[in-house]
Amino acid sequence: MHPDFIYIINNLKPELNIDILTNLSFDIEKFIKLVDPGRIKRDAPYSSIRVSYHPETMDLEETMDKVLKILKKGYSIGIWSVLHPYYKEHILKAQEECKKEGIDFRTKEFLGEYDGKLYGSYKYEDACLKNTKRNVLCKTTELLVDPQARVFKCHHDMYRGINVLGKLSDDNFKAEDKYRVCGDYGFCNPCDIKIKTNRFQEYGHTSVDIKFLDKQ
């Protein structure tokens, strides 16, 4: 949607890797014409352009056609989708259809509550049950930035717009790799505490490390 989307891609420092997470709503023809496939390709165990497939708002055939068109032009592209319980059967069938066409289609675990049940694999099992709050020290491995360039220590804070650590646009902003006091443990966002693969596609990584200040 950003008017300078392609300009930004073409003018970032060459030594910086570019990954694009998208629903392919941008102008594909213009993208293919103006962006070199080699600029968005690196040595990684996953595609540099990752299409997020949402069956409730996207047509599978149309999505596949767009991906194949981009793929045939030499770009590194694949499809990812969350295995939501309601759409699980459809997504698995879509994965099979894509594989037949040579499209890399991967699934991600659904996180959160659905129909009264909590889904997901979490390092800290009681962190998002929303029962009681606990005092902890928490350190994240990620730099979480919202559209206003504000930086947060976790998704819980970012989605609520609270506990802002600073802004990337501030001259004196400095990212600090340290534990921070938090009193909202128990109401964590699943994205922060889920067990997932790291950038090497090795399973077992969690975004945050937590130390408990109280005893239970």
Domains, the chain:
5-110 (3.40.50), 117-212 (no CATH)
Average pLDDT over residues 3-8: 92
The answer to whether 157 touches 145, Cβ cutoff 8 Å, is no
Angle separating helix axes 88-100 and 60-72, nearest 10 degrees: 30
Residue 67 predicted with pLDDT over 70? yes
CA distance 45 to 112: 27
Place of tokens 């130390």: 211
Residue 216 predicted with pLDDT over 70? no
Question: CA 90 → CA 64, 95, 101, 178, 209, distances in Å?
Answer: 15, 9, 17, 42, 35
Beta bridge partners of 185: 134
Question: CA 177 → CA 38, 122, 141, 147, 149, distances in Å?
Answer: 33, 22, 8, 22, 18
Q: Percent of the chain, pLDDT > 90? A: 69
Separation of first and last alpha carbons in the chain: 48
Predicted local confidence at residue 175, as pLDDT: 87
